[in-house]
C-alpha cells in the first residue's frame, strides 16, 4: 500500500490551494477569490414598495453596521441607497466596503401572475385571465365583448346542376355580431408593484379555430411595444419612492 500513501502525499502537496497577494490583498488561486472576504447575511425578503419604506424608516435610519463594526449615523448622508433593478425587483444596498463588495439589506420582489403573451390558450381560460390579470380599460371591455361573440363554425355549401354535385366546406372563427375593436387594443396588465398605477401598452389579439384539431377555439395576446412598458414602470416606481423617501438616493 506504499503507492497509496505516496499518492495521498502527492495530492496533499500538489493540490493544496495556493494563495497570492495582489494590491495588498490575499487571494486564493482557485475560484474562491479573496481569502478573508467579508460574509454578508442574505437580504431580507419583502414584497411591496411600502415595506421598503418601512424598513428604512424604522431600522436603517437609526444605525447601520458594516464590516469592522463601524457604525454610520443618518447624517450627513444615508449609508445606503435604493436600487430599482426591474419593474418587479427593488433592493436596498449599502456602500462599498474596503474590498469593493456591496451588501444588500433587503429586496422587494413582486410575485408575478405568470402572464402568458404570445402563447395560444383555450378561449375560456383566456377570458378568465383577461378579467383577473388586467386592470379595467375601455379596450379591455371591448375585447371581452368580442370574445363573448366568437363562434367556431363549420359551413357547408352544396352546388347541384343536375349532372354533378359539388360540396364546399369552410371552417373558422366568426362573430355572432360586430364589435368595434381597435387594431392594437391598449390594455393594462398587472405586472408590477400594486403601489403604482399599472402601465398600459398596445397588444395584438389573435384567435384561432379549433375545428381542425377537434378542440375549442384558442386566443392569445402579443406584445407590440418592444418592452417600453418596463422603462415607464421603473419611472413610476422611482417617482413613488422619491415622494415617500425624499432623502434617500435612488438608482434605476
Delimit the domains of the chain by residue range: 1-37, 121-225
Q: Given a cut of 60, is residue 161 above it in pLDDT? A: no
- Per-residue pLDDT for 150 more than 50? yes
Whether the predicted pLDDT of 69 surpasses 90: no
| pTM (2 d.p.) | 0.72
Among 173, 182, 123, CA closest to 152: 173
Spatial CB neighbours of 139, under 8 Å, sequence gap ≥ 6:
181, 182, 185, 186, 187
Per-residue pLDDT band at 156 (split at 50, 70, 90): very low
Q: Which residue has the higher pLDDT, 68 or 36?
A: 36
| Percentage above 90 pLDDT, the chain | 30
Q: What's the mean pLDDT in 118-127?
A: 87
Rama region for 194: left / alpha / beta (φ>0; ψ in -120 to 50; rest): alpha
Amino acid at each position: 500500500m506504499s503507492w497509496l500513501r505516496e499518492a495521498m502525499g502527492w495530492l496533499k502537496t500538489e493540490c493544496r490551494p495556493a494563495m497570492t497577494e495582489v494590491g495588498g490583498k490575499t487571494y486564493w488561486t482557485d475560484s474562491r477569490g479573496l481569502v478573508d472576504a467579508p460574509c454578508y447575511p442574505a437580504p431580507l425578503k419583502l414584497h411591496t414598495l411600502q415595506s421598503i419604506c418601512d424598513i428604512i424608516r424604522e431600522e436603517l435610519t437609526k444605525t447601520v453596521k458594516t464590516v469592522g463594526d463601524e457604525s454610520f449615523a443618518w447624517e450627513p448622508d444615508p449609508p445606503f441607497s435604493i436600487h430599482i433593478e426591474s419593474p418587479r425587483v427593488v433592493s436596498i444596498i449599502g456602500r462599498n466596503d474596503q474590498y469593493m463588495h456591496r451588501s444588500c439589506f433587503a429586496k422587494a420582489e413582486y410575485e408575478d401572475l405568470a402572464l402568458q403573451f404570445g402563447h395560444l390558450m383555450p378561449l375560456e381560460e383566456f377570458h378568465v385571465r383577461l378579467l383577473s390579470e388586467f386592470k379595467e380599460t375601455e379596450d379591455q371591455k371591448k375585447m371581452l365583448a368580442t370574445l363573448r361573440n366568437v363562434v367556431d363554425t363549420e359551413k357547408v355549401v352544396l352546388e347541384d346542376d343536375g349532372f354533378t354535385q359539388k360540396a364546399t366546406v369552410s371552417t373558422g372563427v366568426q362573430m355572432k355580431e360586430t364589435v368595434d375593436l381597435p387594431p392594437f387594443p391598449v390594455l393594462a396588465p398587472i405586472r408590477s408593484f400594486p403601489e403604482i398605477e399599472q402601465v398600459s401598452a398596445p397588444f395584438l389579439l389573435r384567435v384561432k379555430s379549433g375545428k381542425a384539431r377537434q378542440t375549442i377555439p384558442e386566443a392569445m395576446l402579443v406584445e407590440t411595444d418592444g418592452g417600453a412598458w418596463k422603462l415607464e414602470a421603473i419611472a413610476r416606481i422611482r417617482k413613488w419612492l422619491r415622494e415617500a423617501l425624499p432623502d434617500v438616493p435612488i438608482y434605476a
